[in-house]
Amino acid sequence: MRDEARKLQNEINLKRLQEAIRAVERPCDCVSLRRNDSCRGLLGRCEQTQSCRFYKNEADDKLSKIKWAKRLSSLSEAKQNRISRKYYSGARPWEGWVK
């Protein structure tokens, strides 16, 4: 019985140690990662790895926004007006991204 309790305590201590190491290392630079380690793209905690499907660093995020802005700017005025009214209350946030 004592050995089982000691083994269980060792497992608990190991889990606590692993959580502490993860909290200190925190190598993830994903723009979707919130302060409480939850992810804006996922429901729940972030795994904090670059293999995540939602992982995007600042450079990738900026490139994505530029592509988004170019794509919307390439649409006809009528389509841009419809999109701006439906999703952005009449504003065109993509115009500030394209030069």
Rounded to whole angstroms, the Cα distance separating 63 from 35 reads 23
- Please tell me the predicted confidence (pLDDT) of residue 26: 53
Q: Are 60 and 29 in contact (CB under 8 A)?
A: no
Q: Would you list the domain boundaries of the chain?
A: 57-99
**b or e along 45-73 (b: 16 or more beta carbons within 10 Å of the residue's beta carbon)?**
ebebeeebeebbeeeeeeeeeeeebeebe
Report pLDDT digits (tens) over 5-50: 777 777 777 777 766 665 555 557 788 877 777 787 777 677 666 6
Q: Look at residue 77 in the predicted model and tell me its pLDDT.
A: 96
- Dmax (CA) for the chain in angstroms is 76
Q: How confident is the model at residue 80 (pLDDT cuts 50, 70, 90)?
A: very high
- Asked whether 37 and 48 are in contact (CB, 8 A), the reply is yes
Q: Looking at the predicted structure, is the pLDDT value of residue 70 above 60?
A: yes
Residue 67 pLDDT exceeds 90: yes
> 97, 52, 47, 50: which is closest to 72 by C-alpha?
97
Cα 47 to Cα 55: distance, rounded to the nearest angstrom? 10
pTM of structure: 0.59
